[in-house]
C-alpha cells in the first residue's frame, strides 16, 4: 500500500496561488504545521492530532499522501478517523461539491490509490467502513471530470 501511495503522489511544491486553509478565525495550529512544507516533510507523529477540516480542498488533495502514510504508520492515531471522514463521499455521492472539490484534483492513479486505501481500511474493520454504494460511486467517478474550477 505504501509503495502504491508513493508511486501515485510524486513530491511537488504546493500549488501556486492556492489557499492552504479555509476561511476561519482559528485554525487550531493547522496553518503553522503545514505552511511552506512539502507533503513528504510531514511525519506521522506531527499529524497525529491535526484537524483536517481547516485544509482547503487544494491543500487536502496536496497533503493527502502524507495523511494516508501517517494512517498506515500510526493506525491508532486520530488522523485515521479524521482522514476516513474526509475520504468517504457524503451520501455516497462523490459529485457533491464538498467532496468533488478535492477529489477532482487527483489524477486517476491517485484516486485509485485512495480507493485501495479505503478498501484496505474496510477489510481491517471487517467490512464495516465502506458501504458498497460508496465504493461503487468512487470507482465510477475515478478518472472522470477533473474540472475543479468551480471550487
Distance, first Cα to last Cα, the chain: 30
Residue in 113, 104, 103 with CA at minimum distance from that of residue 2:
113
Q: Give residue 129's pLDDT band: very low, low, confident or very high (50, 70, 90).
A: low
User: What's the pLDDT score for residue 134?
Assistant: 76
DSSP state, residue 91: G
Q: Mind listing the pLDDT tens digit for each residue in 7-64?
A: 999 999 998 888 888 877 777 778 788 888 899 999 999 998 888 888 899 999 999 9
Evaluate if residue 109 carries a pLDDT over 90.
Answer: yes
State the Cα–Cα distance between residues 80 and 129, nearest whole angstrom: 12
Global confidence as pTM: 0.87
Write the CA distances from 5 to 41, 66, 131, integer angstroms. 15, 9, 22
Provide the mean pLDDT of the chain. Answer: 86
Put residue 92 in one of left, alpha, beta given phi > 0 → left and psi -120 to 50 → alpha.
left
Task: In whole angstroms, give the CA distance from residue 76 to residue 79.
Answer: 8
Distance of alpha carbon 19 from alpha carbon 21, whole angstroms: 6
Amino acid at each position: 500500500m505504501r509503495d502504491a501511495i508513493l508511486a501515485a503522489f510524486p513530491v511537488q511544491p504546493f500549488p501556486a496561488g492556492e489557499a492552504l486553509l479555509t476561511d476561519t478565525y482559528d485554525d487550531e495550529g493547522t496553518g503553522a504545521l503545514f505552511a511552506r512544507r512539502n507533503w513528504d516533510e510531514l511525519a506521522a507523529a506531527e499529524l497525529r492530532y491535526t484537524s483536517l477540516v481547516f485544509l482547503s480542498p487544494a491543500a487536502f488533495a496536496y497533503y493527502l499522501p502524507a495523511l494516508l502514510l501517517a494512517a498506515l504508520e500510526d493506525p491508532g492515531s486520530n488522523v485515521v478517523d479524521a482522514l476516513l471522514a474526509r475520504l468517504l463521499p457524503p451520501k455516497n455521492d462523490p459529485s457533491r461539491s464538498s467532496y468533488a472539490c478535492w477529489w477532482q484534483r487527483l489524477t486517476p492513479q491517485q484516486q485509485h490509490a485512495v480507493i485501495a486505501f479505503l478498501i484496505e481500511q474496510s477489510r481491517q474493520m471487517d467490512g464495516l467502513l465502506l458501504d458498497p454504494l460508496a465504493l461503487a460511486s468512487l470507482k465510477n467517478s475515478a478518472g472522470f471530470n477533473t474540472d475543479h474550477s468551480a471550487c
